[in-house]
Structure 1
Amino acid sequence: MASAPQASLPVFYKDLMPLNSRDHASWKGRSTDRAPWLHGFHAIPLTAEEFPQAARNFPIIFSTGPEPVPLALMGLNEGVNVFVDAEGKVQENIYIPAYIRRYPFLLAKLAPESDELSLCFDPTSDLLGENVEGNALFENDQPSEHTKALLGFCEQFEQAGARTQAFVEELKKHNLLMDGEVTIQQEGFEQPFVYRGFQMIDQAKLREMRGDVLRSWNQNGLLALVYAHLFSLDLIREIFGRQLQLGQGPVVAPAA
């Protein structure tokens, strides 16, 4: 169903360029209610602190591999996103993950040996540029208040990412992640649809955990994240139904 991104660039980003006052002094950035870059992406990286809000709209799973990443499923099949229309309009009244809201900006290392992160952007995006109508990115060769706010958001995202990694490490420490499988029997089809290729929390092992660990998780908020993930899995069948309504379900011959 989903695996951690393997490309050298993060999901959505086609290129990266550092933002600086020398090259982008007259550039502006604009906001938008459309996200055409979401087309073709069904699994969006999610920070742990977003679980309670995201769980209302999306199934939350973990990618496969030794370094699992929490993902919000906006579709069950590769290339299918049931929350974005052909023009990039995102469905109203749903939670928009921070990863989506951050685009086209992010913090990145300009040199592998450096620990310093710089504000970068995807130069292929039409959300910023010299001829864009919007907020100035620089004023008097200094970052504008708009750019400072963008930087602050990206910094908060990085911090949330570190906390998410710590949460996943805690799950791994207690061996709570298991290979997931969802079977959906659809009327009119002889064989059920089976989705694999993701990880989920093992409820049997969760029930066997020591009481002192669970009390600690309850106090620091981790237990709420665990249950947000588990409850969200019920939405997998709803996403499947939305795909069928949109004519984007898996192609399988119906029963005779």
Structure 2
Amino acid sequence: MIYRSAVPVTGARHFDCSIEARQDYAFSSEVNSVPLMAVEFPLAASEYPIVFVASENEVLPAVILGLRDKQNLYLTETGSWDARYVPAFVRRYPFVFSKDEDRFLLCIDERFEGFNREGRGERLFDQEGKPTQYVENVLKFLQDYQAHFHRTQAFCAKLKELELLEPMQAQVSLGAGNQFSLSGFMAVDRAKLKALSGETLQALAQTDELELLYLHLNSMRIFDRLKDRLGRQQMKDTASATPDDEAEGRSAASPKRGRASEAAKEPADAPA
């Protein structure tokens, strides 16, 4: 979970509130995957495994951040993000749209550490009670995000229609009996992709969707880098473990299983 107390932004409630920007992503420490928009594939494919996660009646792309439940391997000990590209889902925090009938409301997580009433950072409203330029910029970012969300929905609907997606499981072994298994996501079946008609492949190429599919497939190799990240994390955990912790670790012989986190299944217009 990322959003813990998201409420609509209003002048009555937030007139004297400010947001102190900080490069601290500790709020994402317990998610091992987050949604990704199709437009982000080119920048994300070299940093994260891109997969597809089912949510109710639709499928959406997501990036895998960790191989265990509630584990983000891209988060450093100081709370910084260890990758060149940070997914837009993460960057939009602490703001999010919430749908109210036929309109969207700007919401903010009041439990964000940078949220304050002491004037630190960017104010949400000016002295006349109007939204500041900072808020206008946030609205533009979220509106763009929402537009890309709808385009991503259409892209994924086409993948379902073509029946290209298959359930997938990632299995990682770190030696010494340490095995990890991650499930709950799907990937494009290469054989089914190759079996598409020339006409269908041409149509996918003309809309750049074929490129997105191959970016997704090529990103699967990043699972090996996640294994390396997990190995380094385990070495740190072992170095700081107590004798009781080490004894408990030796007694756990069964493989450790995880699933893509619920954050990856959240719609773009609802708090995660």
Report the TM-score when normalising by structure 2. 0.81
- State the Cα distance separating 1:186 from its structure 2 match: 4.3
**8 Å contact 2:66–2:72 — kept in the other structure?**
yes
**8 Å contact 1:75–1:240 — kept in the other structure?**
no
**8 Å contact 1:75–1:82 — kept in the other structure?**
yes
**8 Å contact 2:47–2:85 — kept in the other structure?**
yes
- State the Cα distance separating 1:122 from its structure 2 match: 0.9
The separation in 1 between residues aligned to 2:111 and 2:175, in whole angstroms, is: 44
Q: Which of 132, 136, 141 pairs up with 1:153?
A: 141
The separation in 1 between residues aligned to 2:233 and 2:151, in whole angstroms, is: 36
Q: Secondary structure at the residue paired with 1:79?
A: coil
Residues paired across the two proteins, number: 238
Q: Mind listing any 5+ residue stretches in structure 2 that lack a counterpart?
A: 239-248, 255-272
Question: As a proportion of its length, which structure holds more strand?
Answer: 2
Q: Secondary structure at the residue paired with 2:14?
A: coil
1:21-54 per-position Cα deviation (integer Å, ceiling 9, x unaligned): 1221122122111111011111011111111111
- State the Cα distance separating 1:126 from its structure 2 match: 2.1
- State the Cα distance separating 1:188 from its structure 2 match: 4.2
In structure 2, do the counterparts of structure 1 residues 146 and 181 end up closer, same or farther at CA, with 3 Å as the change threshold?
Answer: same
1:101-128 per-position Cα deviation (integer Å, ceiling 9, x unaligned): 1011111124xxx111111111111222
1:182-206 per-position Cα deviation (integer Å, ceiling 9, x unaligned): 34454444x8654332100011000
- State the Cα distance separating 1:155 from its structure 2 match: 0.8
Q: Which of 220, 224, 228 pairs up with 2:207?
A: 220
Aligned to 1:242: 229
Give the structure, 1 or 2, with the largest relative contact order (CA under 8 Å, sep 6 or more). Answer: 2
Q: Mind listing any 5+ residue stretches in structure 1 that lack a counterpart?
A: 1-10
Aligned to 1:5: none
Q: Which of 29, 41, 44 pairs up with 2:31?
A: 41
Q: Superposition RMSD on alpha carbons, in Å?
A: 2.1
**8 Å contact 1:177–1:201 — kept in the other structure?**
yes
The separation in 2 between residues aligned to 1:238 and 1:178, in whole angstroms, is: 23
The separation in 1 between residues aligned to 2:103 and 2:130, in whole angstroms, is: 19
Q: Which deviates further from its counterpart, 58-67 or 150-159? A: 58-67
Question: As a proportion of its length, which structure holds more helix?
Answer: 2
1:147-166 per-position Cα deviation (integer Å, ceiling 9, x unaligned): 00001101111111111111
Aligned to 2:75: 84
Aligned to 2:61: 70
Q: Which of 82, 86, 103 pairs up with 1:96?
A: 86
Q: Secondary structure at the residue paired with 2:34?
A: strand
Q: Which deviates further from its counterpart, 150-159 or 179-188? A: 179-188
In structure 2, do the counterparts of structure 1 residues 209 and 127 end up closer, same or farther at CA, with 3 Å as the change threshold?
Answer: same
The separation in 1 between residues aligned to 2:182 and 2:9, in whole angstroms, is: 41
What percentage of aligned pairs have identical amino acids?
A: 28
Q: Secondary structure at the residue paired with 2:58?
A: coil
